[in-house]
Amino acid sequence: MASQTPGTPQAPDGSGGGGSVRVDSWIWAVRLVKTRAAGAAACKGGHVKVNGTSVKPAHALRVGDEVRVRRPGDRERLVEVKRLIRKRVGAPVAAEAYVDNSPPPPPREVIAPVGIRDRGAGRPTKRDRRELERLRATFGQGPGAESGSADD
């Protein structure tokens, strides 16, 4: 077989024979972020750490590295690199490229939605607002919850 250029992938799943991959490209390829641009932005913002250090998007990732990705509104993901992937692949193949060591997500609390108004109902009256505050205080939400009493 003829030798391939370093940038050419050697397998159909996009895993190359090289020893390293850009971290922004890898977290996108294994579906930890939605787009590669989002991966680069996460790196620039300090939300991606490799072996405990914040890294730039072009940081070379190797097998065995520990990658920590923190996304806004989501739990922190802690993964260990098992295989290097350069191109985005299907979810089952992507899951084989890392070992997920993330802590389990916190249990979801069952809370009934309180005070949801119909669309187009207009601005609540003073009476409506006070009733909503009483409801929220009852369920431990909102401004009346801290003091334990509601306006009368």
What is the three-state SS of 35-83? Answer: CHHHHHHHHHCCCEEECCEECCCCCEECCCCEEEECCCCCCCEEEEECC
- Which is higher by pLDDT, 138 or 114? 138
Q: How far is CA 127 from the centre of its chain?
A: 41
- The pLDDT mean for the chain works out to 80
* Cβ contacts of 106-114, under 8 Å, gap ≥ 24: 106/75, 111/139, 111/141, 112/139, 114/139, 114/141, 114/142
Q: Is the pLDDT of residue 39 over 50?
A: yes
Band of residue 143 on the pLDDT scale cut at 50, 70, 90 = low
Whose tokens are 């991959």? That residue is 21
Tokens at residue 38, please? Answer: 């989002």
| Per-residue model confidence as pLDDT tens digits over 57-92 | 999 999 999 999 998 777 889 999 999 999 999 999
Contact 32, 43 (CB under 8 A): no
| Total-model pTM | 0.61
- Which is higher by pLDDT, 56 or 141? 56
pLDDT at residue 18, rounded to an integer? 60
The order of strands in the sheet holding 98-100 is: 53-54, 48-50, 66-69, 77-81, 98-100
Overall average pLDDT of the 25-29 stretch: 94
